[in-house]
Chains A and B, each alone.
Chain A
Amino acid sequence: MIRFEKVTKTYPGHPHPALDNVSVDVEKGEFVFLVGSSGSGKSTFLRLVLREYRPTTGRVYVAGKEINRLAGWKVPRLRRDIGTVFQDFRLLPNKTVTENVAFALQVIGKSRKEIKDVVPETLELVGLSGKGDRMPDELSGGEQQRVAVARAFVNRPMILIADEPTGNLDPTTSVGIMKLLDRINRTGTTVVMATHDAGIVDQMRKRVIELDNGHVVRDQAQGVYGHQN
């Protein structure tokens, strides 16, 4: 589903590559944690998957497409196969919960009827049924993140990317979000989650890819956050 072949990404003006000769293969339906300190290359990894950047050298395949060669006008199509969740939720403050989720479908041209069917269904999946008419600022942080997950998942993407989705949440709320991501993963969606949260990684026992200074220093099935000796 996601495949990095000897990928190096150097930003202009920076002598050291953000990712250095990284090769990783993520199968369809996998749940992968991406761990490492700030500046280790996690965000660059995710941005390459989203094709916000192209690799400097090497190849990146996402959902069967080689993103190096993907024409600019085809990028929106690729992104419809990828849902994204961020630490800071990124909800539209002037829209209700339902409107926020529906927005993701409206702007890719889905019909009104389809939106009407799918949005409540997705809100129910994330545990927000009955809160569709609330505004984001009337919700708790955990609930806001659920809205963000609903928006990312409402188009049933093949891949869900989560960049520190629990970074702004307390541990109890985080567990709820992780259960939600796990549920989404069980529908067959590939989940890649960048995180600093050792507790969550240790608890979930999923595959862990650790980056350090742009290198993959560990790739372990059912890993934990810290190094296992």
Chain B
Amino acid sequence: MQLRYVYSELGQGLRRNLTMHLAVILTLVVSLTLVGIGLLFQQQATRAAEHFGNQLQITVYLCRLNDSNPVCPNPVTEAQKAEIEAVVEDNPEVASYRFESGEVALEKAKELYGEELFSGDNPALTAEDMPQTIWITLEDPEQYEGISSAVQGLDGVSRVRDLREQVGPILTTITKMRTYALGTAALLVLAALLLVANTIRLAAFARRKEIGIMRLVGASTLYIALPFLLEALVTALISVALAIGALAAFLRFAIGDLQQNLRFVPWIGWDEFWLAAGAVAILGPVLTLLPTLVLTRKYLKV
């Protein structure tokens, strides 16, 4: 296929409708960025929930070596653990539970405060310093007194932590921000779709003579639609690149700031960023190509 015409049309088309293309790009950049931020918040919420347990969970700390709690003269024994497990197992308020070892707890601490603190000859903490825990998921988040008091007095239990009061607001805030970001993004995506549709209408009108002749002499539908599709792709790629840049800046500065100030929360990093960037990179072209495909079929019907 001879594509010289297609490329020259692409350049011409981009210049001819420059203002419309800019409008599409700006709208897309903002909406894609918000989608990305929404996805980052989503992952942030998941990460925080993994770390602290979600709002259905309470944590039972078992006695460790040199426990500061006077009810813990010695670290928890296997027999005590079995007894505690039996109590948890039988309690009707419990949906499920799992043990977490001191090693896992240490890994979590490393994630938050950095590897350096825990390695070398004289580490600040070792796995032995970290308490073993039981993470209990409740049937009903409102009903926890039964299990809490049942476990509290048992040998080998240091304390029962109900993090929901502390973590709850953080999780709620993150979830709210995700909803706001995605909600605003949805509106802007709609605006972007309408702008794309309008751009195509203008472009089809500007090219109506060429299109009429192409149809008459038997150019294929794809050939006629190709300049439109390439235009859509170019605007999408520019928008995606800018949106990913904005997301990187968001992670680097906004999340970076939070990370400095709120160290006890495990914040998202570049792994999560690339996931969001990937989603944005797919969504961008879809948002421009889909309406283009639909509308070129309508306007360029042979």
Contacts and interface: CB of A to CB of B under 8 A. Distances in A.
Interface of A: 50, 72-73, 75-84, 90, 92, 103-104, 106-112, 151, 155
Nearest to B214: A107
Contacts of B218: 75-82, 108, 155
Given A75-B302, A76-B302, A90-B209, A109 B217 contact: no
A79 B218 CA distance: 5
Interface in B196-237: 209-210, 212-221, 223-224
A92 B210 contact: yes
Shortest Cβ-Cβ A-B pairs, 10 listed: A79-B218, A80-B218, A107-B219, A104-B217, A76-B218, A109-B1, A107-B214, A76-B220, A75-B302, A106-B5
Nearest to B224: A107
A195 to B, nearest CB: 19
Contact of B5 (A72, A80, A83, A107): A107
B217 A92 contact: no
A110 B5 CA distance: 12
Contacts of B216: 50, 79, 84
Most chain B C-beta atoms within 10 Å of own C-beta, residue among A77, A107, A110, A112: A107
Contacts of A103: 5, 210, 213, 217
Contacts of A76: 215, 218-221, 302
Given A107-B214, A108-B218, A109-B223, A92 B2 contact: no
Most chain B C-beta atoms within 10 Å of own C-beta, residue among A77, A83, A106: A106
Nearest to A77: B218
Nearest to B217: A104
A111 B302 contact: no
A155 B217 contact: yes
A140 B13 CA distance: 30
Contacts of B2: 106, 109-112
B4 interface: yes
Contacts of A107: 5, 213-214, 217, 219, 223-224
Nearest to B215: A79
Contacts of A79: 215-218, 302
Contacts of B224: 107
Interface in B1-43: 1-2, 4-5
